[in-house]
Structure 1
């Protein structure tokens, strides 16, 4: 954690050069201020407690975003919002009195945090205070975990960066104005036994298809699938801006999972219950645009969690698309989908439908009809119906509907 007493650094300023300092003291000195006048002030503050990267990190993307703002909006962000976010970050020793447990490979554990704790951890990620979390190199301490500090996002001058930062600032504006009082549960799930797919007697469940709408809007009350990377969040703090990254931007509390979730294994997934939505948007990838703040009126459960369940399952990325038809990969994708579709926080709760779509297609080169069939089979094994969004493709809707109707009419089992 940023405030760990074992976190030390060598002084960066000339008059104290060589002196060993408590890093949290430096962070408090850098962030405990009434305002930032320019983006350069923010950059200098962050580099003060990250001296190792002072000549490496670039903040051109952040500077460009701020420079494109109207003067009044820029003054608000630098002069009011970010100082409040900094104060939120500095509350970490009070809000997180113990180190956040790591959800490592093979651990079927759940971690529940308050939304205020999530906001504090995200504030620290924004100000890049987490030690030892900046290197993805194989021998680095957290090489099997995603990055959590925002430094990579700040450096990119892509137009995508401005839209991402707009969503992040929208989130921070919301929580500093009115801190939500709910909880969020992050649960790492894994298969407890292998599935003999060839012998499964399960028959396909109900399927509803739509060529319009999104998983987050049309799938309210359902188990909503995040087309994840094995390092959850994918490129949300980098250049990525497809389904997973968009979901993490409009529900930024999901980004907190990157702090403690180790790379997902082939028979694991991450289930997040209670993440709140803060933004509306239009477009996808290069056409993505932050639109406005979102008022999330999803009811809460008895734990004060929003009744929103999001499951992260990572598909295989195929360099050669023909590989996906091999038995090994079919088994892997079936196991992964079933793991996601069968996990839930409360064992006896109602089996809601699964809201999903073209999982692992696009850049991962998955065949849309094959991936739909795999998910239909996994859902049948999990005894859950499916709400499938084809994201604007009436051809896919027609083909998948025809396939599903055939399976139902012929009473085809998963094993068959």
Structure 2
């Protein structure tokens, strides 16, 4: 776990600063014009009209929304200057005031970054580079050590305890597995051009148990159909083999497993991660190929790439394009991967979870848009990975939604599957420092790899890129109605709280805000409006504001804005909202189909607001 410097002048100033979120409420201020360049780092760009403008700015029809490319940086609500009917939410009557904030109001790293303590080992933090040399020269030399063949550690393919049975003409013999692995990898590395047939033959040599089970049809088809400009696979495969064969040199010490119920972290260099992923490609990791409930690693995600190589599909083509681009980049001599990446499993005990009914915080600031996306407009914020409890989901299979896309654009995330056990209800995984190598367009069946991405974001004192990702897994509801009970809602609140809660020793002014969206609302059948409220409640509890991306869903953007405006105007606390959700669940159980949450809240809260207003006669002097 990273730590900040409590003795720094920056920290002292932060501790003395008056935190705007203290006192359990957030001031919701109007937005003003914002230069797009301030948001995206592009000088000389025109100002963009944000969610709310002054009367002067609206005169002369000057408040027309300006588009900023396909992924507008601060997309307006599209309702500026409209007349709004409070009862129906429609355009009519007097203008409705919006409490949503602008994107520029939200905090990001490195602007809100607190200087870190020098990199150091701890009881719960394992580091795989020589820390002393890193401090002195910033060099990333591997930390010496030995592999450990133990249930609490990754069983490495070069461990002397790892054997395979070789079949001969006279008898069967057992040999150290790495002897065969290194032999096959060295043969591949010596080839000027390697074919898929060479890869298939090598992998099956040290995985004889799966010789008749594993198919390489998709990999064959992929290389045959590759565009001419991308047809570098035969030359990059030998480089990948050479990288994989150097595993004992890159990571000589044992890698601890991030097991359930434990908070601990691992820091690896980017080149160490590349070496591990090259071994995953060549399927060298032992004991990781069976999904049988009695298998040793049944509670861990798969890590070997064999599942990507069989059964051709258009999805697999795009996945392989992204992954081969990553390997092409990291094996290029001109590429200098000089950074670190930290993987931190965090577990919060049940007794440390909030009592949601008694929470007095009001909702945080909210920026919401149907344009843009988490990984671009949310740069510098805590980016939410809509995770599977098996980290990475179907990234090495057929899955291709938010989490899988994130892992393909940032392949270093895939290595977390090697050592991260299935997440529990009170756990999450933080990844700090991963690099984005690719761009993309589309989603699921329309997903396409869109070419290389240049990642120019700065690094922190530990040479980690200023990218923070948190993996939190939503509940999977087979029937949508299952989520409308307070047990399920409380579980989701606790999960979001675990993911959003910052380190205790960092002042809130130096904690980036949250970039998220419709968490668990695709294949997991979550209600987008309910899940949005749950995330806002958890964010309020940890004093973080939210940027919410509806991914081109304009209707959801409008409904969430109306719902948020209503709750903020009523000064609704987290505890009160928790109570309201309990009432909503009770009503929903009595109906044949779920009641729309935003409509129910409006019908519930607006009559109360009218009753609290003084009669019109009392307002006339």
TM-score by length of 2: 0.65
- Which of 555, 558, 570 lines up with 1:410 in the alignment? 570
Residue 47 of structure 1 aligns to a residue in which SS?
Answer: helix
Moved more, 391-400 or 335-344: 335-344
Q: Tell me the equivalent position of 2:378.
A: 219
- Which of 177, 186, 189 lines up with 1:32 in the alignment? 186
- Which of 346, 360, 378 lines up with 1:189 in the alignment? 346
Shift of 1:347: 4.0
**Structure 1: which 5+ residue stretches go unaligned?**
none
Distance (whole Å) between structure 1 residues aligned to residue 537 and residue 229 of structure 2: 54
Distance (whole Å) between structure 2 residues aligned to residue 263 and residue 246 of structure 1: 20
Distance (whole Å) between structure 2 residues aligned to residue 131 and residue 53 of structure 1: 12
Q: Tell me the equivalent position of 2:243.
A: 88
Equivalenced residue count is: 413
Q: Tell me the equivalent position of 2:543.
A: 383
Distance (whole Å) between structure 2 residues aligned to residue 115 and residue 84 of structure 1: 16
- Which of 281, 287, 306 lines up with 1:126 in the alignment? 281
Q: Tell me the equivalent position of 2:415.
A: 256
Q: Tell me the equivalent position of 2:359.
A: 200
Distance (whole Å) between structure 2 residues aligned to residue 69 and residue 185 of structure 1: 34
- Tell me: CA distance 1:122–1:398, structure 2 relative to 1, closer, same or farther (3 Å): same
Q: Tell me the equivalent position of 2:303.
A: 148
Q: Is the 8 A contact 1:7 1:24 kept in 2?
A: yes
- Tell me: CA distance 1:266–1:16, structure 2 relative to 1, closer, same or farther (3 Å): farther
Max radius of gyration: which structure? Answer: 2
Distance (whole Å) between structure 1 residues aligned to residue 273 and residue 504 of structure 2: 19
String of CA shifts for 1:363-389, please: whole Å, max 9, x gaps: 111111000000110110110000000
Residue 234 of structure 1 aligns to a residue in which SS?
Answer: coil
Residue 415 of structure 1 aligns to a residue in which SS?
Answer: helix
Q: Is the 8 A contact 1:204 1:412 kept in 2?
A: yes
- Tell me: CA distance 1:388–1:89, structure 2 relative to 1, closer, same or farther (3 Å): same
String of CA shifts for 1:102-140, please: whole Å, max 9, x gaps: 000011001111111100100000000000000111000
Q: Tell me the equivalent position of 1:77.
A: 233
Q: Tell me the equivalent position of 1:56.
A: 213
Higher relative contact order (CA 8 A, sep 6+): 1
Please state if 1:320 is matched with 2:479: yes
- Which of 433, 447, 452 lines up with 1:293 in the alignment? 452
Distance (whole Å) between structure 1 residues aligned to residue 502 and residue 280 of structure 2: 29
Please state if 1:20 is matched with 2:180: no
**Structure 2: which 5+ residue stretches go unaligned?**
1-155, 577-621
Moved more, 15-24 or 301-310: 15-24
Shift of 1:214: 1.1
Residue 277 of structure 1 aligns to a residue in which SS?
Answer: coil
Distance (whole Å) between structure 2 residues aligned to residue 90 and residue 348 of structure 1: 45
Shift of 1:392: 0.3
Shift of 1:407: 1.5
Q: Tell me the equivalent position of 2:514.
A: 354
Shift of 1:19: 1.9
Please state if 1:333 is matched with 2:489: no
Please state if 1:269 is matched with 2:269: no
Shift of 1:286: 0.6
Shift of 1:21: 1.1
Residue 100 of structure 1 aligns to a residue in which SS?
Answer: coil
Q: Is the 8 A contact 2:346 2:498 kept in 1?
A: yes
Shift of 1:170: 0.7
Distance (whole Å) between structure 2 residues aligned to residue 136 and residue 179 of structure 1: 37
Q: Is the 8 A contact 1:212 1:392 kept in 2?
A: yes
String of CA shifts for 1:69-110, please: whole Å, max 9, x gaps: 246754x312x2111111111111111111211000011001
Shift of 1:179: 3.7
**Deviant stretches of 4+, over 3 Å:** 14-17, 70-74, 343-349
Q: Is the 8 A contact 1:271 1:343 kept in 2?
A: no
- Which of 244, 247, 250 lines up with 2:403 in the alignment? 244
Q: What RMSD, in angstroms, separates the aligned Cα atoms of the two structures?
A: 1.4
Residue 197 of structure 2 aligns to a residue in which SS?
Answer: helix
Residue 380 of structure 1 aligns to a residue in which SS?
Answer: helix
Q: Is the 8 A contact 1:189 1:343 kept in 2?
A: no
Q: Tell me the equivalent position of 2:368.
A: 209
Q: Is the 8 A contact 2:196 2:219 kept in 1?
A: yes
Q: Is the 8 A contact 1:109 1:188 kept in 2?
A: yes
Q: Is the 8 A contact 2:194 2:238 kept in 1?
A: no
